[in-house]
Structure 1
């Protein structure tokens, strides 16, 4: 009998997951950086604009739940490719729609189609929970905070780069051609993931016909310490039965949902409140917020491993609350820029802290927990922008600043929840035992 072989390595698993996430996650900013183009062409209200820029987050958040759980059944590679394939369909539809109707024919009557194609394009965003699980299963428990922060931090950088590139491409190529180039990027990136991705050891061994007990024992020899239950629905049920899972969902709603919301909303804020042009608004948003919040996750993960995710979360959400309150009242450009940087740091580090806690609190159902936390938490990226749009409809242009009161409230609640986790579970290392209260 030929001995079963395990292909790949933890590094390859991390690199391929990060690549796939980078490709799919760019869909976050499908409409945000050029929102004013769609607003003027279609005559959108603040609420309609907020819903449109958030459209990719609808599928990008909710699909994380079933697809994150599906990983525990079939491994991460197949769910990754399905989600990226759906994103390709959405981007193709949007590019075709713009080719036929933009600019003169892109009216409010086409809003449902524009929203639909945006939602389909957002399916690639949902690979976050799939890649999180892929990375977690490749690495030992004591490295989770660091490697998950590297995965999320580098993957999260794509919205920042596209926030920079899309307005520039708009000026150089026009809106339709810019989206055609994006479509090509998505196709090439999906093929690259398909070529490089390998499932974690236990899934490879199971695919070769080994029974679960044998495959787990063999996988441990290759460094795998976290294992799936093999039942997607059971994984979600197990995670949902642990109360701390829902606390983590609430925290991620503020940190990651808030990150998504501000990534698509800040360009409009800079244009409307501070009078900058569209390209400059994209640069400020990308550099001062999106890219910084993404990359700061990496040291944030290291910090969480060292001092605990709960303590890290408390400090991060306090920073978000203070910075958001500043943006409510200030109209000074430099002060607003500093507050934006502070929110980026707070949200980025908090994102790392929350996912450092997922394997610690829910080690027996990482896939299901990643789906619930990543999916329902990221749903904030769809819920918050329309709420911000209501502030604009009610208060006019000043509503772009007044709306930051939403983030003040969310951050204060998150501080309280993080502090409660700290009091009930002060240690979160690999040997910690979660209190199932």
Structure 2
């Protein structure tokens, strides 16, 4: 008599939808302060450096937590850490709502700035759901279907900051500043409910939870088409990849392009309003255009990398980024600077896809660990760059808002040199891996 097939809860597509919605909601914290920074600046009399740190704070926790939480997926399947990160984000946004409800506008002074940073850091935990979702989705899908599934997860999730930067100011204009953050709180709670219902662990983790037998859980999961299984070597591959010098140029590439994308999504509303005196609504529209272009073109960047190779795609996208950065640094014309912004967004989006095309080629014996370092430390650009932009404004004055984009000129040139270095040493990979 044939053995009864174990019962599975959920499906791959259901899990993908749940994880994508969860990441989309969590990633919205990238734009938590960008559209409202000018309000905090005036109410609390903040310096440019303090504003830069404020808009970057959610990216700090969102970046650093990607590495340990991403590594934990092999052990627990992803559902628990995903929920924990979203709940931490809820606590942060609830704290911001409480602050604004009780203190704004008359009592929100500079002495509450540290508290604002703490709640911003908590809210940023949702950004770290990216690394958890990548692992969770990968376990659900066969190797042939993982590429498309991960492109949907990453591309749609990354579009969240663009929508937030567009919608949040409109809500604030309608119901007030505290009402805007109450709206954000309601949205993320809704996202948690959706993820809780749909973001289920892959078959192996469901069966292992029932019988605590890894071999049996593996055999049962294979009946449902699961091909990827945990090896228990996550921390080992992190250490192994850290010893590969090629890991670190890839980190710098992602720091420049994805970290730079996060930084500009938070900084651009301030730039447009202060330097060009664009109205609040139009400034967030321009920022949304940048953010959405960078997010959606990433899918095309993946296709281009498959056709042309990661190196050629990276070089082309970095040249586009360089040209856009030069325009934004030296242009005093609004229409020309908008063109520069579009070029910067397109270059960053395509390069983000190219980087992960290069990871398995240059560090094939530690792909997971390398992806963890690249995804985690690379995101720190979103935290590190805004305070530097604020320092330049404090040092130079109003013209510093434009001259600050010189950072991206330097970074794009550095990245072009690093891609050239990687390409020149690719023939040594066989020798390196055989040691």
Normalising by the smaller structure, the TM-score range is over 0.9
Deviation (angstroms), 1:423: 3.9
Counterpart of 2:283 in structure 1 is: 281
What secondary structure sits across from 2:254 in the alignment?
helix
Change in Cα spacing, 1:31 to 1:301, as seen in structure 2 (3 Å) is same
Change in Cα spacing, 1:137 to 1:95, as seen in structure 2 (3 Å) is same
What secondary structure sits across from 1:243 in the alignment?
coil
Deviation (angstroms), 1:7: 3.8
1:190 matched to 2:192: yes
1:375 matched to 2:376: yes
| In 2, Cα distance between equivalents of 1:278 and 1:372 | 37
Confirm or deny: 8 A CA contact 1:146 1:305 kept in the other structure: no
Deviation (angstroms), 1:316: 1.1
1:75-224 equivalence runs, <5 A: 75-209=77-211, 211-216=213-218, 218-220=220-222, 222-224=224-226
Confirm or deny: 8 A CA contact 2:16 2:199 kept in the other structure: no
Confirm or deny: 8 A CA contact 2:169 2:180 kept in the other structure: no
Counterpart of 1:355 in structure 2 is: 356
When normalised by structure 1's length, the TM-score is 0.92
Confirm or deny: 8 A CA contact 1:80 1:130 kept in the other structure: yes
What secondary structure sits across from 2:117 in the alignment?
helix
Comparing 2-11 and 398-407, the one that deviates more: 2-11
| In 1, Cα distance between equivalents of 2:36 and 2:393 | 18
Structure 2 stretches lacking a partner, 5+ long:
none
| In 2, Cα distance between equivalents of 1:142 and 1:274 | 48
Deviation (angstroms), 1:366: 5.3
Change in Cα spacing, 1:329 to 1:131, as seen in structure 2 (3 Å) is same
What secondary structure sits across from 1:104 in the alignment?
coil
Counterpart of 2:31 in structure 1 is: 29
When normalised by structure 2's length, the TM-score is 0.92
Deviation (angstroms), 1:266: 0.7
Deviation (angstroms), 1:142: 5.0
Confirm or deny: 8 A CA contact 2:263 2:385 kept in the other structure: yes
| In 1, Cα distance between equivalents of 2:190 and 2:305 | 35
Confirm or deny: 8 A CA contact 1:17 1:135 kept in the other structure: yes
Counterpart of 1:388 in structure 2 is: 389
What secondary structure sits across from 2:274 in the alignment?
helix
Counterpart of 1:300 in structure 2 is: 301
| In 1, Cα distance between equivalents of 2:97 and 2:295 | 28
Comparing 258-267 and 354-363, the one that deviates more: 354-363
1:312 matched to 2:313: yes
Deviation (angstroms), 1:334: 1.1
Change in Cα spacing, 1:81 to 1:362, as seen in structure 2 (3 Å) is farther
| In 2, Cα distance between equivalents of 1:262 and 1:277 | 18
| In 2, Cα distance between equivalents of 1:222 and 1:433 | 36
Counterpart of 1:337 in structure 2 is: 338
Counterpart of 1:253 in structure 2 is: 255
| In 2, Cα distance between equivalents of 1:207 and 1:309 | 39
| In 2, Cα distance between equivalents of 1:216 and 1:28 | 38
Aligned Cα root-mean-square deviation (Å): 2.3
Counterpart of 2:328 in structure 1 is: 327
Comparing 224-233 and 316-325, the one that deviates more: 224-233
Deviation (angstroms), 1:75: 1.0
Deviation (angstroms), 1:219: 4.1
Structure 1 stretches lacking a partner, 5+ long:
427-431
Counterpart of 2:404 in structure 1 is: 403
Deviation (angstroms), 1:400: 0.6
Deviation (angstroms), 1:140: 4.0
Counterpart among 23, 46, 63 of residue 44 in structure 1: 46
| Count of aligned pairs between the two proteins | 431
Deviation (angstroms), 1:373: 1.5
Deviation sequence 1:120-162 (CA, Å, 0-9, x none):
0000001111112223333344555443232111101111111
Counterpart of 1:429 in structure 2 is: none
Change in Cα spacing, 1:222 to 1:313, as seen in structure 2 (3 Å) is farther
| In 1, Cα distance between equivalents of 2:281 and 2:431 | 47
Change in Cα spacing, 1:331 to 1:310, as seen in structure 2 (3 Å) is same
Confirm or deny: 8 A CA contact 2:247 2:370 kept in the other structure: yes
Confirm or deny: 8 A CA contact 1:239 1:369 kept in the other structure: yes
Change in Cα spacing, 1:365 to 1:349, as seen in structure 2 (3 Å) is same
| In 1, Cα distance between equivalents of 2:328 and 2:297 | 21
Deviation (angstroms), 1:198: 1.8
| In 2, Cα distance between equivalents of 1:303 and 1:7 | 36
Deviation (angstroms), 1:117: 0.2
Confirm or deny: 8 A CA contact 1:133 1:366 kept in the other structure: no
Deviation (angstroms), 1:300: 1.3
